[in-house]
Copies of this chain bind each other. A is one copy, B any other.
Amino acid sequence: QDDNDIKLSALPYYSYGKGLGITSPDSIFKLNIRFRMQNRFTSLYNEDEEDGYEAMIRRLRLRFDGYVGDPSIIYVIQLSFSPNDVGAIEDGDNLNIIRDAIVFYRPDEHWNIGFGQTKLPGNRQRINSSGALQLTDRSINNARFNIDRDFGLQVYYLNELQDKLSYNLKTAISTGEGRNWTKEPDNGLAFTGRLELFPFGAFKSNGMLFEGDIKREETPKLMLSGVYHYNNNARRTRGTIGDELFAQRDIQSLFLDAIVKYNGWAFQTAYMQRTADDPITFNPDDALDSQYVFTGSGFDTQLSYIFANNYEVIGRYSYQEPHKDIEALTPQTNQYSLGVTKYIWEHALKLQAELTNTELNYLDSSSTSNWYLRFQVEIGI
């Protein structure tokens, strides 16, 4: 691993193995090719529906990264092709294949300036690659509240130190409309700031960017992080993602996260919140047709232990509460998951099984309990 790989590894991408990479003899460029694929089979036992199954390529990604001209000028391109990566085709929308397309300038080990499209410095689990999760997917709160990817300028000041208190500060100014948006000129930007504190120093191998203590930290490591995000004149139900609202809204998001790893144990917890005034917007041509900002809050907690044979057992509990402005429109939700993961080649090749129960509690006091059992294979380089 050369110096550039080290620089890249400070970006929020999980990398194991070396990809198919070539550095030119005169070191004028580097192009590295990577892929990953996630195949899954799920048995569904939903209370009010016939039992069924889903079987799909959940994620399929190609990644190209490297540098051009000078090792301090780094590019990352990531393309996604699976149906759930891209979403169903909608007339008038843009093709949604590009996930990341960004240039970074890294003049030294501290500063990292990016221009293009990639993940915003949001909640920890969202920054964590979906290829480096313990369970088969992220939490229900991440799904509702995360701030996803966006196009803009990102400036990071990185100051992670070995074995002592240190921190990273990550900021972004972006369009606020989300990835591959070109519909109309924008009239309100989004501003994001994230602070990461490492009271006991940095994790092994950027361990805050993958779940599970697969590196078996010898001393406890902790990252505490907080994010504030303000999306001015947002157009979509979840800010940078979701259906289009009938009127623009200003949206604020708050994320608080902790991750601890020690001796095979890993513990993560997160609080997420989205607020907006007057979150329900109505179709001016049809007052019965509405779209609302998903306001509310949620809480996740997740614990795991990895055995010497690289089998890991994971439990997660999530609680999600819609804001009272929209509580008639969407249920309060609890989710309980139990998972077993076998790491064959760290997160790059693993087998995962997961049993999950989701309870949906409606305002009229009715409730629904759904279950699924899932098997998943993750493979990539």
Chain B residue at smallest Cβ distance from A62: B64
Shortest A67–chain B CB gap in Å is 9
Q: Which of A24-32, A249-257, A271-279 contacts B (4 or more CB under 8 A)?
A: A24-32
Query: A182 and B83 in contact (CB under 8 A), knowing A69-B348, A377-B115?
Result: yes
Query: A175 and B55 in contact (CB under 8 A), knowing A31-B381, A345-B69?
Result: yes
Say whether chain A's binding surface is mostly helix, strand, loop, or mixed.
Answer: strand
Query: A31 and B39 in contact (CB under 8 A), knowing A86-B95, A103-B379, A116-B57?
Result: no
**Residues from chain B with Cβ under 8 Å of A175 in the complex:** 53, 55
A328 at the interface (CB under 8 A from B): no
A70 at the interface (CB under 8 A from B): yes
Shortest A96–chain B CB gap in Å is 8
- Residue from the list B22, B93, B186 in contact with A53, Cβ < 8 A: B186
Contact call B33/A20, Cβ cutoff below 8 A: yes
Encoded as 1 (CB less than 8 Å from any B CB) or 0, chain A from 50 to 61 comes to 111111110010
Contact call A88/B92, Cβ cutoff below 8 A: yes
A: contact size bracket = 35 or more
For chain A residues 143-202, which have a beta carbon within 8 Å of chain B?
Answer: 151-153, 174-175, 180-182, 184-187, 189
A326 at the interface (CB under 8 A from B): no
Contact call B345/A68, Cβ cutoff below 8 A: yes
11 contacts between A and B (CB under 8 A): A31-B381, A35-B77, A39-B101, A39-B116, A39-B151, A55-B151, A57-B101, A83-B181, A86-B95, A88-B93, A97-B97
